[in-house]
Amino acid sequence: MDPRLIPLNGLIALVRGDGLWPRALGDQGLRVHIFEAPVYTDEGNIAADAILYRLDPPLLVLAECKGGRNIDAQQGRRYLAAGSAGVFAAGSLPPGLRNRDDARIVAVFVGNETHRGDLEASMIQHEIQAPLLTVGSDRARLTEVEAGLGIESFDVAHQAGLPPGRFPIDQHSSIEEIQELAAPILVATQAREEEVVDVEAICRDILPEWSVLGKEAQRGFISRVADAVRRLVGDELGIQFSYEPGTKASQPRVRILESPAASDPRGTPQSWQAQQRRAAKALGRQRRPQIEGQLELSLEDLAQAGGVGEDEGVPDE
């Protein structure tokens, strides 16, 4: 997993207990509301990496997830200046808290456990007084929690390893990383003998948290994935796919021109093997290490998707 995305995925795991992670935040009644959400403040506007909430007692947590070793001073001050009015005005307040004037707002900074010392020093340097949550493959801890904030500190050890990749990539990931995840989705679409797949559907398959991703972030991700897919089908896979840009009336999408699933049944396994080689070539590798959370581009998965039948009728060589 990209170290940059470990803090965000760790935050999600601590809310839901995913992948055998402790529910240290979920047990405090917190749940996920939205990711990449706009928030207005007197210090300037932000896009909160995550907003968590609790209805009783009412609490809103704005989380800034940092993959690096430093806290941005200006960004930190904006998080600390956030109030419920600014969250509401930006359309990011959970429905259950919209008529509550007693909801407390807490800014939490989230980082990698291996960077804790540097993050603590950065917060002291910039005079940012706020809870610090750090996550790692065997430990998670929330510190610097002042009395009355509405959340409790914790320091828990676990043996679950890195958090599940609910965000295996984001809109800032490289084109190559996005293509690694998009290629198997295109081939699975072939296996189902579908005619078209829109880019947003590909995005939904890639990101399990798509439905709670902010609208602006969704638009940015769609644009990024569209670019990656356009390049992917423009070369080796262009024989069987065609990219169609979006219009006022339609989303950007990929049209399936032909599929090995429609070939002579006696040659179907060989056709999928050839397609697998084409996909690997399009990705510029024979076989790269699998990105955590990506779909395996394999005959077995294609068979489950309906693309490879039994070898009945195929003569032995």
More reliable by pLDDT, 286 or 101: 101
More reliable by pLDDT, 114 or 296: 114
Residue from 118, 109, 112, 117 nearest 138 by CA:
112
Same domain, 199 and 105: no
Same domain, 138 and 198: no
pLDDT at 100: 87
Query: pLDDT band for position 247 (50/70/90)?
Result: very high
How many folded domains does the chain comprise? 2
More reliable by pLDDT, 106 or 272: 106
Same domain, 125 and 71: yes
pLDDT at 277: 56
Residue from 122, 143, 132, 150 nearest 60 by CA:
150
Same domain, 73 and 126: yes
Q: Tell me if 29 is assigned to some domain.
A: yes
Is the model's pLDDT at 298 over the cut of 90?
A: no
Burial class (CB in 10 A: 0-12, 13-18, 19+), 298: middle
Same domain, 121 and 190: no
Task: Find the domain containing 209 and state its range.
Answer: 175-304
Q: Tell me if 164 is assigned to some domain.
A: no
Same domain, 12 and 114: yes
Same domain, 132 and 242: no
Same domain, 149 and 192: no
Q: Tell me if 108 is assigned to some domain.
A: yes
Residue 162, both tokens? 């890195």
Check which CATH number belongs to the domain holding 146 and give it.
3.40.1350
Report pLDDT digits (tens) over 253-289.
999 988 765 555 554 555 545 555 555 555 665 344 4
Q: Tell me if 165 is assigned to some domain.
A: no
Same domain, 137 and 7: yes
Q: Tell me if 66 is assigned to some domain.
A: yes
Q: Tell me if 300 is assigned to some domain.
A: yes
Name the pTM for this structure. 0.83
Same domain, 208 and 133: no
- Residue after which a domain boundary falls, among 123, 157, 191: 157
Q: Tell me if 166 is assigned to some domain.
A: no
Same domain, 26 and 107: yes
Query: pLDDT band for position 122 (50/70/90)?
Result: very high
Q: Tell me if 8 is assigned to some domain.
A: yes
Q: Are 150 and 104 in contact (CB under 8 A)?
A: yes
pLDDT at 240: 85
Same domain, 138 and 273: no
Average model confidence (pLDDT) across the chain: 86
